Structure 1
Amino acid sequence: MFELDYGLAQDIVSRAMAILPYNVNVMDSQGLILASGERSRINTRHEGAQLVLANGRVVAIDSQVAACLRGVQPGINLPLFLDRRLIGVLGITGDPEQVRIYAELVRMSAEMLVAQRYQQQVERHWRRQRSDDLLALLLEEGGDILRLFDEAHLLGLKPQLGRTPWLFELAEGVSAERLGDWLLACYPDSWCVSPAASSLLWCRPGAVVHDEARLLERIEGQGWWILRVAVGERAEGVDGVRRGYRRVRDLLAYGRAILADQRLLSLQRHRLPALLWRFRDDEAVDELLRPLRRLRARDAGGQLLRTLRSWCEHGGQNQACADALGVHRNSLRYRMERIAELSGVDPLSLDGLLSLYLGVQLLPEEPPA
């Protein structure tokens, strides 16, 4: 529903007072002065406007009547209509008989301006809705890609730009639409679409470089809490963005299941485990996890699994892993021997390290006891 706002009301006042030697007021549908040539009157209640709103007709106020009303000066107040709906009041200060003819002309101009702004709002809403629908179709598989591409050009969506997909998982109560509006305002030529409840896919122009953690802080500084976000890599063209969306969707699902404590997930960092996660129900993936399940069953306190995770993170570098764990290299060697014994896989060999690394990436971390 269209309502007068401060910007539109001030535009009406400024245009009218650039021509007329009288003060002009614009009131909203509650009788509150939104704009006035006398700035001290803004945000005060106008009882004359309330009379107009109550009766839907012109109210002329002379000096005697003005003395009996609060926040009122002599003048004439006229209803403002949009498609026969009363949306506000226009007032001109002065002798009612002298300003009446001016008031009618100003009202006609004001209602034309209101109608123009309303039509612009309708067109913007339609354009936004159509853009959202079109983006959803572009990101789906199939469809007439050439027709969609041409329409995206007509709507100014610039489908030829390279983009980097970010998939946000939002906390309960966070509006995907409001977050999308903020991102669009901050980063022109972005694409924003909500593929499911509590999620937002943002495809930012690829030329923009961000510190991901810093951007997350900025978003949360606006009051929007993000449970986790999956960041993909620059993709070229619509087909590339489609593939990129699938990748970050898999990455987010992987992070939710395996890396519950990590809120910022990068495809560059987790590409291989996220790919394997798509095939988590396959027998081959289950085989990767069997040695680790054997190890976990015999690993009281989880010390060996933590050691193995650190070993994988440091690429099998003895000293770096020992330093990270805060143990002597001899202690680390003993632990690696126990891991090989209990799992049946040698982490000191390349094949063994690769097998255990992939398994560790797919094994959910158990919460502390």
Structure 2
Amino acid sequence: MNQNTNKFKSKFCQWAQSNIPNDSMRKFTYSLNQVLNKHIFDSDNRVQIMIRSLADSGNLNFSYISNEVIIAPNKERESLYVGVLMPSWDKGLRDFCKDEYVYDSISWFFHYASQYVARSRIVDVISSLSIIYDRSCDFRGDKMLNFTTPKSAKNKDEFILAFWRETHARFHHEYRARERNLVSLVNKINALDPFIHRIFFNYLHAYKLYEGHFDEEAITSLDKTVDVIQQYARERMNINGTNNQREITLNAFGMDEREKYLLSRLYDIRNFFGGHPSISKWWDFSEMFEGDIKDFFDVIRRLLYKVVLHENENRKVEKNPSSWSQWFEENAMLLWESVWFEKIHKQIR
């Protein structure tokens, strides 16, 4: 068990001490050890496949097949579907967790961890669709298929067949420039990295709000997008500023003077209207800043692409691992901080 996994184990045990009964706690450490030392590695012998329809994706006629992701519309083009391969960490845990409280805690964590992988792969797709096609899709569509199969050389064929049975899709691979850009972006975005995931979560949320005419809230989410990019710059690029983190981050990504002005203006508007209840012109926000909001989306799209390229060339979190057990060992704490309740319980009453 490596250092990262040991830290994860310690954190999970500390959390359990405060959240499950003492009688169950005695069994928790043993069960978690069994899961980490055996179950995670055994899971490499199985592949989990998830196929979901995307909400608000009608009439998108694009198809793509890789080893990890399949994208295509159903036969009627009512929805675009995305299929992903994901680890099966959440399956078979009952064999290692006989106590109900222990099972409840450990199985929920690994459910969220597996879900994080699946969502990350879909976020790669819907983020690319937003940037290239200007479409705001959501992975919480109305149809989902999920199943597990033994790992074998036939998995890709099983994946394609399952996708076809669910969608009756007609795959085509004659790409024009726009489709080639979309494929390139899907392959570059890596939402398994929580910084990238959070950046695109806030950007996609801003886009949805803007479509719904919630302009003030869209501004707040756009500024959050830039804020996470500043965190990325601090953690991944060693760029630290006391009072000028935004400015030095934008300089590092080569943004020009007009772009930096727009993103400073975004920050000011967010502070005046979104950070606190505004003290004037609260009814007139959309009328006053309609033109600005479109400019903000344009400049943030350019910034997003620069961040994606930087992550792509300086990758810390593997996008397409050959072994999910090894990936888990390297990223157990990443999952703990991203999907579990520890920080929420500490900071929210």
TM-score (norm 1): 0.22
Higher strand proportion: 1
Considering Cα pairs closer than 8 Å and 6+ residues apart, tell me whether 1 or 2 has the greater RCO. 2
- Structure with the greater alpha carbon radius of gyration: 1
